[in-house]
Amino acid sequence: MSAEKTKTQRLRELKNYLVFLKDQGYRDIPLEKNIDKLNFDSEIINSQSDTLSLTPESAITSQNLSMELNAILKELGDCKRCKLCEGRTNIVFGSGNPNADLVFVGEGPGADEDEQGLPFVGKAGKKLTEIIEKGMGMNRERDTYICNIIKCRPPGNRNPEKDEISACKPFMQKQIHCIKPKVIVALGRPSASTLLGRPVTITKERGNWFNYEGVPLMLTYHPAYLLRAYTLENRRAVFEDMQKVLKVLGK
């Protein structure tokens, strides 16, 4: 591995960690006075200051809750509980407001997510952001938390296997216990089937309310499916599902 690649990898890891801290609600990190001697070319580091600004616009999070999520992340560690660890670049833990009323649960990371260590950042992620922000009038980072049932990318984006879901599911469950949302939305069949503990036919069961450990659970299409089958009917279906969610959230 070249020195340049090592530096790139380190910067990527640093960026991922800073984004994680931002998601957990940290606004500033006190720095040593001589930090400005470091020659980072990063827009998020202000070398004129002795603090590192992460989210000046955000004053949202319960630090205790953030610490609980952080504890789950620490427990996950450099996870090797299933074979998906072999091909991953990054574990994709989750992102958003740890205090959110609304949690979206997807299936698993794709290539972009694996690369960046963040959920729903590829094409399907953009579609999900559009659904949240244009369709629901909410802010993705401020009003929702997003995670997946598995935290490492399956090879070739295949569906996660039973043993992989069993190994990873407890961490998604812990995230939900910690966040205590008012509503959960399962995106697509694997997520819906995992949360309900039975095979789900998403085309038949979407748009209906279920229950996940006392929390109202709405099933809808995965945004990647929506992009593949971009019909008026499917778009309307997701829009209507999200209107039901907004109603339960009192919005």
Q: Where does this chain bind ligand SF4 (CB under 6 A)?
A: 76, 79-82, 84-85, 91, 150-152, 164, 167-168
Least CB distance to ligand SF4 at residue 80 (A): 6
Q: How far apart are CA 205 and CA 52, in angstroms?
A: 47
Can you tell me the distance from the alpha carbon of 5 to that of 190, in angstroms, rounded to the nearest whole number? 36
Write down the least CB distance from residue 152 to ligand SF4, Å. Answer: 3
Cβ 119 vs Cβ 144: under 8 Å: no
Tell the smallest beta-carbon distance from residue 74 to ligand SF4 (Å): 13
Q: Which is nearer to ligand SF4, 23 or 241 (CB)?
A: 23
Q: Which two tokens stand for residue 147?
A: 């995670």
Q: Give Rg (Cα) of the chain.
A: 19
Question: What's the closest the beta carbon of residue 82 comes to ligand SF4, in angstroms?
Answer: 3
Q: How far is the CB of 221 from ligand SF4 (least distance, A)?
A: 23
Do 218 and 183 contact (CB within 8 A), yes or no? yes
Return the number of the residue (65 or 85) whose C-beta is nearest ligand SF4.
85
- SS (HEC) of 158-197: CCCCHHHHHHHHHHHHHHHHHHCCCEEEEECHHHHHHHHC
Amino acid identity of 244?
K
Between residues 130 and 161, which has the closer beta carbon with respect to ligand SF4?
A: 161
**Of residues 104 and 221, the one with the C-beta less far from ligand SF4:** 104
Q: Closer to ligand SF4 at the Cβ: 80 or 247? A: 80
* Residues 150, 76: Cα–Cα separation, whole Å: 12
